[in-house]
Amino acid sequence: MNKKVLSTLEYYKIIEQLEHLAGSAGGRKKCHDLKPETDPDLITVAQRETSDALTHIMTQGPISFQGVTEIMGSLKRLELGASLSMRELLDISSLLYTAGQTKAYFRKSLNENDETGDSLNERYQLLEPLSPLMQEIRRCIVAEDEMADDASAGLNQVRRKLKSAGDRIHEQLNSVLNSHRSMLQDAIITMRSGRYCLPVKAEYRSSFSGMVHDQSSTGSTLFIEPASVVKLNNEIRDLERQEQEEIDKILAELSNQAAEQQFYLEQNYRLLTELDFIFAKGMLSKQMRGTEPQFPAERYIEIKNGRHPLIAKDKVVPIDIHLGKEFSLLVVTGPNTGGKTVSLKTVGLFCLMGQAGLHIPAFDGSSLCIFDEIYADIGDEQSIEQSLSTFSSHMVNTVSILEKADERSLALFDELGAGTDPTEGAALATAILSNLHKRGTLTMATTHYSELKLYALQTPDVENACCEFDVATLRPTYRLLIGIPGKSNAFAISSKLGLSADIIEDAKHHVANDATQFEDVLADLEATRIKLEKEHQKVSDSRKEVSRLRKSLQEKNERIDSSKDRILQNANEEASRILAEAKEYADETIRKYTKWASSDKHIREMEAERTKLREQIDKKQSNSQKAAPKKKTSTLKAKDLFIGADVKILSLNSAGTVSTLPNEKGDLFVQAGLLRTKVNLNDLELIKQPKIIKPAKSRSGSGKIGMSKAAAIHQEINLIGMTVDQAMPVLEKYLDDAYLAHMTQVTVIHGRGTGALRTAVHNRLKKLKYVKAFRLGEFGEGDMGVTIVTFKS
């Protein structure tokens, strides 16, 4: 793909966004080098990888590759037998740690039993974290300039000796410092050339025994190593040399271990930089709300609700564009700043992004075509140095495009033929488009020339399009309308801006008759289009409403059918039971009457049995009448309610507690278990609290407490919204009160959430001696969001 079009269509700005999403230097380099491909197989693989990375990101969140550092130089040194520095070994450790994290990330989402997985599965399987090597490096090296004391026994021993020698030399120096304080410039111990010294006044040089290592800039202070510590200083220098030798041995050993795994280290680096690059593409797709484009064999473009990725999300207007299916040349007209150029760039940039394996910000199911080359002549490229005018610069680009374009090319022209005499410019533009059309080149061009509108109307396989303009507000809507040529709005805009009507009328007389008639036709077409769009919107809204009502009716019928089946089943079961009972009673009665019929002695027994049967029938009828449901109506008034009052919701047949007072419409909120629902005053019934009747004889203190608690305690307590520390004291007080009130069972509402509050409640209940048992709620009681507690009697 030519570099000019990548710059013209701002492809490099997309690449810059992509680079910022990569975590490693290697990943960013791959992003920087990404170019559009022309091989369909490579494009398909790249798109599939981007989609799979996006799926992982959406299901598990992003993964960081910042630990993937450049180690190829270190591996080259290992190949030559050199030892690595602590910094280089830490880089290898960081790479291996990232490999382990990446392996764990994929294990969560990929099925281990699935041998195929997604397109990233092979890379994941090939990663080797080399945990023993990573752990050994981290054990030995604390930082890039610090080796751990226990990295080896020899290093540990040398450092203990160093500490001991340091303590002894400080003790000796402090002794000298205290005994010669008057000779010292400052009472401090300092270092010069790696040896401990004291700052001695210059006039005491001959009186102070030792070796001079340095002096101050004024010469008034000499830094002298006392003779008594020379031996200890020499010992420390020797121990430091031994320490460095031990460190070198450890680095050599770690380097040898890394050299043995050189193949896997190089493979890990390659795989992780590739994954970093692929996940950067997935993150870019997520940010742009992109989708994977299709690449049909029929070679056409169909963009659904495409959004230019470089325009702010709150300002971009989605456009629908199709090219190559019904027509291969699209002529776009419309006002300046109306969105014509953005439409051109959107088509070209989407094709470049798709061929580079990137998702495009458009609706799912959008299709693109694979081009060998994309050519674009967009923008003003006039050059003073090259003596090129606007027209000349455009024509240079156009000539270059005509030399190379073929049936596997896409050509984009902005204001084709502009910058010269309108008549000649329109003729040239028509001839250029006709030439490209004959070649089979997919072409999209913007223009203000009416001649090109006529060309598109008269030529097969060529279509008009326009960018909509609202004359009332003098602003473009940025909507691209395919199949409709754009109308010139110069007269309408001038009138709106206050130009005299006489001047506008005079201007209209200077326009040719044919042009005027053509503009009138376009105006009628525009009016018809707007009317049809409104009608279509009304029809669409009506269809949606009909669909909603149909769905609602279907759901209602399903509920009725379900209730009818359940009622019929219950009725049939009850009828079968009654029939069986009646049959049994009838058989017994027939046996008795047969027995009594043989003698007149049992007339009294027969009459008694008949009376008993009549009483049973009357009882059944009485029960049936009582069982008939009666719709309850509430006479409750707003003044009867208060926050915390116990009420019954008639429509739900459920008890609850008043959370808010009624508004002017009589609506209020009631907490019914875990459910906080809005009901009307007419749907409520006040639950009267049972009155405690005190017996004549005096009661003990505990009895009085029990009656007092019973009058005020509720059947349930709501702990939702509290932390464990807040909830436990409230729960214990409530359970104590409930037990003293001689309640047999209460409900603790703790919600589902993370389960921490439920666990704390259960642990507390296990420790209370007066709790007989507890269990989670069943269906209808609150399920796992509540616990039912039973007290000992």
pLDDT band at 153 (very low <50, low <70, confident <90, very high): very high
Q: How confident is the model at residue 606 (pLDDT cuts 50, 70, 90)?
A: low
Report the run of H or E that residue 285 belongs to, with start and end. Answer: helix 262-288
| pLDDT greater than 90 at residue 235 | no
pLDDT of residue 46: 95
Whole-number pLDDT of residue 385:
43
Q: Which residue, chain included where needed, has tokens 């919204």?
A: 721
pLDDT for 369: 93
Confidence at 410, pLDDT banded by 50, 70, 90: very high
pLDDT of residue 539: 84
- pLDDT value at 91 more than 90: yes
Ranking 3-7, 376-380, 665-669, 763-767 by mean pLDDT, the lowest is: 376-380
Whole-angstrom Cα distance, residue 259 to residue 272? 19
Instruction: Answer yes or no: is pLDDT of 89 > 60.
Output: yes
Q: Does 434 score more than 60 pLDDT?
A: yes
pLDDT at site 289: 92
**pLDDT surpasses 60 at 311:** yes
- Tell me, what's the pLDDT at 694? 44
The pLDDT assigned to 512 comes to 54
Question: By mean pLDDT, which of 203-207, 447-451, 614-618 is the weakest?
Answer: 614-618
248 pLDDT exceeds 80? yes
Q: Mean pLDDT across the stretch 228-243?
A: 87
What is the model's pLDDT at position 607?
A: 61
pLDDT at 697: 42
Q: Considering only CA atoms, which of 460, 172, 229 is closest in space to residue 326?
A: 460
Q: Whole-angstrom Cα distance, residue 119 to residue 53?
A: 9
- Which comes out higher in pLDDT, residue 780 or 311? 311
More confident site: 5 or 709: 5
Angle at 182 between CA 178 and CA 188, to 5 degrees: 55
Q: Is the pLDDT of residue 20 over 80?
A: yes
Instruction: Name the token pair of 714.
Output: 């509720």
627 pLDDT more than 80:
no
Chain mean position to CA 749: 32
* Model pLDDT, residue 448: 83
- Predicted TM-score (pTM) of this structure: 0.62
SS (H, E, C) 466-487: EEEEECCCCEEEEEEEECCCCC
Ranking 3-7, 606-610, 776-780 by mean pLDDT, the lowest is: 606-610
Most confident of the ranges 129-138, 197-206, 476-485, 615-624: 129-138
The whole-number average pLDDT for the span 610-620 is 65
Q: Which residues pair with 377 in a beta bridge?
A: 413
For 38-52, write each residue's pLDDT tens digit: 999 999 999 999 999
Share of the chain above pLDDT 90, in %: 34
Does residue 123 surpass a pLDDT of 50? yes
Per-residue pLDDT tens for 680-700?
Answer: 888 888 887 655 444 444 444
Q: For 535-568, give one letter per residue: b (16+ CB within 10 A) or e.
A: eeeeeeeeeeeeeeeeeeeeeeeeeeeeeeeeee
Question: What percentage of the chain carries pLDDT values higher than 70?
Answer: 83
Report, as an integer, the average pLDDT of 309-327: 88
Q: What's the confidence (pLDDT) of residue 384?
A: 39
pLDDT of 519 above 80: no
Compute the distance between CA of residue 277 and CA of residue 375 in angstroms, rounded to an integer.
28
Q: Say whether pLDDT at 599 is over 80.
A: no
Conformation bin of residue 421: beta by default, left when phi > 0, alpha when psi is -120 to 50: beta
Q: What is the distance between the alpha carbons of residues 766 and 761, in angstroms, rounded to a whole number?
A: 9
Residues 6+ apart with CB under 8 A from 615: none
- What are φ and ψ of residue 71, in 5° steps? -125, 5
Average pLDDT over residues 138-162: 91
**Which residues, 6+ apart, have CB-to-CB distance to 364 below 8 Å?**
291, 292, 304
pLDDT, averaged across the chain: 82
Band of pLDDT at residue 166, cut at 50, 70 and 90: confident
Q: Could you tell me how far CA 331 lies from the centroid of its own chain?
A: 40
State residue 739's pLDDT score. Answer: 85
The pLDDT of residue 634 is: 61
